[in-house]
Structures are given as structure tokens and as C-alpha cells.
A and B are shown apart, each in its own frame.
Chain A
Amino acid sequence: MALIKSKELRFTPSASPDVVTNKLYITKNGIPLTYDSESYDVGNTIDLDTQKVHVDLRSFLSQKDGIFDLAIAAIDDVGNEADMMVMLAVPLDFVAPDVVSGLELL
């Protein structure tokens, strides 16, 4: 089984007290990010060491290799979403190279 390097997205959580979770938005190939873009609930668990929310991107991308636009929006108890915090043109690659062949002892 191939080994895929992990890649984390991290952010300081919203300071609003009514935030219950965060949503990760993803687009590829320069398609503009909107609130209708592909999205995933990534929770609001704060790492005690960094005081940030950590998201393992391997778990969320439907396409595993490319240049992605990413955004995070905080969500309150009734589903309202904050303005997105955006990071554009992020190169991500969660595809291992093809396995070698022709292995032999010489």
C-alpha cells in the first residue's frame, strides 16, 4: 500500500461565541469559490498546542491531485456563515507514483 504524505490546513477559529463548526470549500482549476462550491464540515476542534483548528486535507478532497482554491467559513448555531477566509492556488498531491515493475535480483 502506498504512503501518502499528510497535509494539514490550519486556521485560528472565529472569535464569535456562537460558532459551532466550520465549512471547508474547495474548487479546482481556478473556478471561483462560492457558498455553493464543493464543501465539507470540518468541525471546530481546537488543538491545544497551536490554538488552531487542524484539518487533514487527505480526508476531504474528492480529487487528489491539482491546484486548488480553498476557503474556510465559520458557521453559527442556526447555519449562518461568516465571510470566507480564502487561500488561492494551493498545490496538493495525494496520489502516489505508480508502483515499479520488473523487480529482480541480479
Chain B
Amino acid sequence: MALILLLSNTAYSLTADGFEGFSHYTYYGTTADNITLGWDQPDGFDVLTDDYEIELENPERNIIIPLIITLERQTTFKCSMTGHWIIRIRTRHWDGTEYKYSKWALSTDPLFARVNNEPHGWWIFAWIASTGPIEIYSPTGGGP
């Protein structure tokens, strides 16, 4: 079974310092942005798929964070920390005794991932959201 990862968000393209050597497409955003992740199973409905298990992997921090186990084929999340994030997803099936899992499908693997409907690996680069605008306030009133 294969999974096709689809991503939709409002990210924009810039250059990620230090990571130019990778061919993955980079979606840019902040750790405050809501990111909607969608996926599909090209073979159609799979009776052996009970649900989907999704994790976020941050290679700079060398951490993997469980995101959600869901019956749905999309989920919305926020990257909890700065850096690059790779999405990992696999199917899960309870056979009455134990859970059986598919291989992990990685968003950086063109076999599973798509950009603009073409096979292409991708990841997310999340940065810190800026503060709001600065205001200068004089508690006692008056000029400078």
C-alpha cells in the first residue's frame, strides 16, 4: 500500500540557510501558523486500514513528536518548535490480537509525497512569528 501526501497551507518560498543542499521543496511558515495536511491512498479504500498514525520529525533537534492517530484523511496542526519538519505517516490495523502497521511514508520521499501534484519530496520550515507592531506609550502623557 502506498500513501500520497498532499499539503495545503499558505506558506511562501524563501531560502533556508544551511539547508540549500537538499532537493526537498520547502514550505515556509511560523510556529504560530495552522498547517493543514492531507493524504490519500491511491489504491482506494483499504479494509485493512483502521486509521492513520502521523508523526512530526525535526532533524535539527533530532526529535520525533507523535501528532495524531485519526480516521480522517486530513489534519490541521502547528509546528511546535522552530526548524525543519518532516511528516511521517503510516496506516494501522488491529487484527484482533495486535496492531499491524504499514511502512512509514515520509514527506521527503518522492515515492509518497507530491508538490503541485507532481512527485516531489517536501518539508516544512517553521520560524518564530514576529511580535505585533511597537507602540510608544507615555503613562503621564505629553511629548518625548
- Which residues of A line the B interface, CB within 8 A? 5-19, 22, 52-54, 70-78, 80-87, 90-93
Q: What are 24 pairs between A and B in contact, CB < 8 Å?
A: A5-B138, A7-B136, A7-B144, A8-B137, A8-B138, A13-B131, A14-B32, A16-B82, A18-B31, A18-B80, A54-B137, A72-B131, A74-B131, A75-B128, A76-B31, A76-B128, A78-B82, A82-B127, A82-B128, A84-B130, A85-B133, A87-B133, A87-B136, A91-B143
Per-residue CB contact flags for chain B residues 13-42 toward chain A (1 = under 8 Å, else 0) read 000000000000000001110000000000
Chain A contact residues: over half helix, strand or loop, or mixed? strand
Q: Are B136 and A80 in contact (CB under 8 A)?
A: no
Contacts A16-B31, A18-B80: A80 and B138 contacting too (C-beta < 8 A)?
Answer: no
State which residues 71-119 of B face A: CB under 8 Å: 78, 80-82
Kindly report which residue of chain B lies nearest to residue A53, judged by CB atoms: B131
Query: How far is B32's CA from A17's CA once the two chains are assembled, in angstroms?
Result: 7
Query: How far is B133's CA from A18's CA once the two chains are assembled, in angstroms?
Result: 19
Write out the residue numbers on chain B whose beta carbons fall within 8 Å of the beta carbon of A5: 138, 140, 142
Query: How far is B80's CA from A53's CA once the two chains are assembled, in angstroms?
Result: 22
What is the minimal beta-carbon distance from B55 to any residue of chain A, in angstroms? Answer: 18
Write out the residue numbers on chain B whose beta carbons fall within 8 Å of the beta carbon of A7: 136-138, 144
Query: How far is B137's CA from A25's CA once the two chains are assembled, in angstroms?
Result: 18
Write out the residue numbers on chain B whose beta carbons fall within 8 Å of the beta carbon of A78: 61, 82
Interface residues on B, range: 20 to 34
Query: How far is B144's CA from A7's CA once the two chains are assembled, in angstroms?
Result: 8
Write out the residue numbers on chain B whose beta carbons fall within 8 Å of the beta carbon of A10: 134-137
What is the minimal beta-carbon distance from B12 to any residue of chain A, in angstroms? Answer: 13
Known A-B contacts: A10-B135, A14-B130, A93-B144. Give 6 more (CB < 8 A).
A6-B139, A16-B82, A17-B78, A17-B80, A74-B128, A85-B131
Write out the residue numbers on chain A whose beta carbons fall within 8 Å of the beta carbon of B136: 7-10, 87, 90
Most chain B CB neighbours (cut-off 10 Å) among A15, A16, A18, A90: A16
Q: Are B130 and A74 in contact (CB under 8 A)?
A: yes
Q: Are A80 and B82 in contact (CB under 8 A)?
A: yes
Most chain B CB neighbours (cut-off 10 Å) among A5, A15, A73, A93: A15
